[in-house]
Structure 1
């Protein structure tokens, strides 16, 4: 059961989050998750009056084991209570599905209780769309209609913060998917012939690579397509820990958007293993600006390639619901390294937390 996580937010800043307004809560899910969920089990968690992690799993994979894993994730994020939303396009007109939903809710409630978390409500809706009718999954008799997802306060806030909302989860996954498999496959030999980078490179070489990255980010921002030679240099540059660790600082600088655009292009173009570092840089950039869904899919893609220390740390932080402002401090290391290397990075621009 694949899960996506969203950072916690103060409930006062999220009027959609209310156990008493299921229609508004359900309408807010696309803005929180980054896409419109379908055939899903979604858990909205909260603790001490604050919205916490939002977890999503595939409905077809809602086994006791998978529900237990979701419950453990909810507990690990510090949740005290959970509201569950089952998105099932057959739910409203499928009498046989009613028993399945009640079983799911009972099983989920038990798993949550075993983790000291209380399930306070569970709703079923055929689709997350304006006017869709929701009803209680446990047969309580309550029903209502879903508000307009695109007009929800959470959606408006997400758009104002520059986040893109995707129609489906597949569209979100496509952001980091290899764009041209043939070109990526051909790049393997090109990059290998470009030569590896040893650990004993002088600071001047690392400094030159960082300056090259900054120049490529500016070109990428203008829509330029990187050449094989540029991609080769970037691929090997990211294997130098001094270069890579310095580049994390770009996530909090004035050129953060340009840098993130470059990480997207590298994630979609470079072959493994060089692609991994671009994915982790993208994940960190997305995490810092409060885009949990993009951070999550980037980390999933990176960790599927194998263990990675920074990817593992960020994934644990994301699952625990750690706020963006708590991980931005990692960027300070990048600025310190830049000073040591004699590189001038774009000035720091601290952002407010903009999750969900």
Structure 2
């Protein structure tokens, strides 16, 4: 789920549909998209794959929409195979789907204000209403949507497909290396001894080494296997992670986020989970709900009990604003100070990292 409140004109279906890629972070295909309406504009935007099991997701979508207590919502079905004129069966399936969605929303006092079908969200894409009201037309150019322009100015990358977004955290084949997992396990044992002798010093070195690794990666220097091992051990320590969350609001936040993405792809389980959570936190703090969402989904699949992943997922699903997440990052600076570690200066509030 993505939350994006704006004064965007919701009364023009062609403009509303064209804005969806900018809100979701990718161009949806074969999807049911549910947009809640809050204060006269877009609220939470949720998406589910069109599939035989979609009926099971309808209740979940309605429940997610209800989290922000909207009064109404709009449904958009994206289906390249659907044609209002030549596919009566598709039309009936769409009507049944929207009827089920309408019932689920009604149970939560949410009105399904409109339901549209679009063949593709691209230049030349056409939409029509599900109930056969006769309304329809060509959608606006998605790349010229005000929300797309705002996303670009904010430094967000828009992906052609959801698969391209998921590729950011796709596991590198080297992460399956038994040798790498064994090396991290061995290094963790050695770190425990060092931590027992000097806990503050050990954590301080881990924080500073992680900041250095992010800078080196930004300079084009790939991580060696030994660096992967050390970083895997570092992010496994709760005190170190607490300090590293502060990097999300630092002037070099983009470097840190790139490091988390690399670690998410290259670290084996269970160390990968913490890299995913750090990536999710960083993305969430700068307003990139789609990347935060896929990262949290991957983390919770691996470790459903991870406390931070669960907390961030709940916050994202309930529409907690990025600026409130950034407030949590301030505690990272306090933790780093307690350890004697220096983080990059905090960036000016509201500015994109980098």
TM norm structure 1: 0.93
1:190 aligns with 2:188: no
Query: Which of 68, 75, 79 does residue 84 from structure 1 map onto?
Result: 75
Aligned Cα root-mean-square deviation (Å): 1.6
2:4–2:23 Cα contact (<8 Å) kept: no
2:91–2:130 Cα contact (<8 Å) kept: yes
Aligned to 1:6: 2
Deviation at 1:353, TM superposition (A): 8.7
CA-to-aligned-CA distance 1:280-333 (integer Å, 9 cap, x gap): 000000000000000000000100111100000000000001110111111121
Q: Name the CA distance, whole Å, in 1 between partners of 2:219 and 2:128.
A: 48
- Higher mean alpha-carbon deviation, 331-340 vs 59-68, is at 59-68
Number of corresponding residues:
345
Aligned to 1:150: 143
Query: Which of 331, 334, 346 does residue 333 from structure 1 map onto?
Result: 331
Q: Name the CA distance, whole Å, in 1 between partners of 2:29 and 2:160.
A: 10
TM norm structure 2: 0.94
1:128 aligns with 2:128: no
1:86–1:124 Cα contact (<8 Å) kept: yes
Aligned to 1:53: 44
Aligned to 2:90: 97
1:250 aligns with 2:266: no
Per chain length, whose mean CA-contact separation is higher, i.e. which structure has more relative contact order (CA < 8 Å, sep 6+)? Answer: 1
Deviation at 1:351, TM superposition (A): 3.7
Aligned to 1:170: 163
Q: Name the CA distance, whole Å, in 1 between partners of 2:31 and 2:309.
A: 26
1:316 aligns with 2:307: no
1:263 aligns with 2:260: yes
Task: Structure 2 unaligned segments of length 5 or more: list them.
Answer: none
1:184–1:269 Cα contact (<8 Å) kept: no
Q: Name the CA distance, whole Å, in 2 between partners of 1:44 and 1:134.
A: 16
Task: Please give the secondary structure, in 1, of the residue aligned with 2:168.
Answer: coil
2:80–2:120 Cα contact (<8 Å) kept: yes
Q: From the superposition, tell whether residues 56 and 345 of structure 1 become closer, same or farther in structure 2 (CA, over 3 Å).
A: same
2:175–2:267 Cα contact (<8 Å) kept: no
Q: From the superposition, tell whether residues 305 and 148 of structure 1 become closer, same or farther in structure 2 (CA, over 3 Å).
A: same
1:250–1:256 Cα contact (<8 Å) kept: yes
1:30–1:37 Cα contact (<8 Å) kept: yes
1:77–1:319 Cα contact (<8 Å) kept: no
Runs of 4+ in 1 over 6 A off after TM superposition: none
Deviation at 1:153, TM superposition (A): 1.0
Q: Counterparts of 1:202-281 in structure 2 under 5 Å?
A: 202-281=199-278
